[in-house]
Amino acid sequence: MIQTQPLQKTSVYYPPGGILLWIIIFLELFTFAFALILMAINASETPELFYDSNAKLNTIYGTINTVFLLFSGWTMARSVSFLKKGEPLKSQLYLQLTLVGGLLFLLVKGIEYYEKLEMGLTLGYNLFFTYYWMLTLFHVIHVVVGLVILYILGRQFSTSPHSLKTEDLEAGAAFWHMCDLIWLLLFPVLYLLF
């Protein structure tokens, strides 16, 4: 009879958040990548439509949002690092900065959405804006879910700063970094390529 040892949580076979979280992350990344490939195919068939529609986007908003998400990704990494070093108060501060970065992203995205709606550039306006709305709204849902996860972790800091487990914060960070990565795929394709 072969004896097997239980997986260690530090093992490559047991990433932060567990295998299920990483399956979800890879499925989400695959979904966005598949949609972007379909968008590229449609853009090659109707390049003028995509070029003209892309010109209606405000790259300043997209750039500002990229900065906010990159900043929040950095602060999230710092939060995890400080918790691993046994400095929960610094970890909590950087987690709060991460939440601020995510909320600023949503604020700018909300302003951008409002302007698009005022211009009549809705989901059904044309194929480009169908992709724009579906991809960015799906991403916004992920950001909101990420913020809820991080808020819950932050509440745990507030009630008992030394009780938060590194693995829990790493799992929240993995989800948050997925949101960053998805935006880093969406931003150049939607705002810069056409």
Please report, for the chain, the start and end positions of each structural domain, with discontinuous segments joined by +.
19-45+59-192
Question: Per residue of the chain (194 residues), what is the pLDDT tens digit?
Answer: 444 344 445 555 567 777 888 888 899 999 999 999 999 999 999 999 999 999 999 999 999 999 999 999 999 999 999 999 999 989 999 999 999 999 999 999 999 999 999 999 999 999 999 999 999 999 999 999 999 999 999 998 878 767 788 888 999 999 999 999 999 999 999 998 87
On whether the CB atoms of residues 139 and 183 are closer than 8 A, the answer is: yes
Alpha carbon distance 190, 194 (integer Å): 8
Determine the Cα–Cα distance for residues 2 and 139; give it in Å rounded to an integer: 46
- CATH 1.20.120.80 is right for the domain spanning 19-45+59-192: yes
**Is 191 within 8 Å of 59 (Cβ atoms)?**
yes
Among all chains, which residue has been given the structure tokens 């710092």? 78
Residue showing tokens 């799906």: 138
Q: Is 65 helix (H, G, I), strand (E, B) or coil?
A: helix
The model's pTM is 0.87
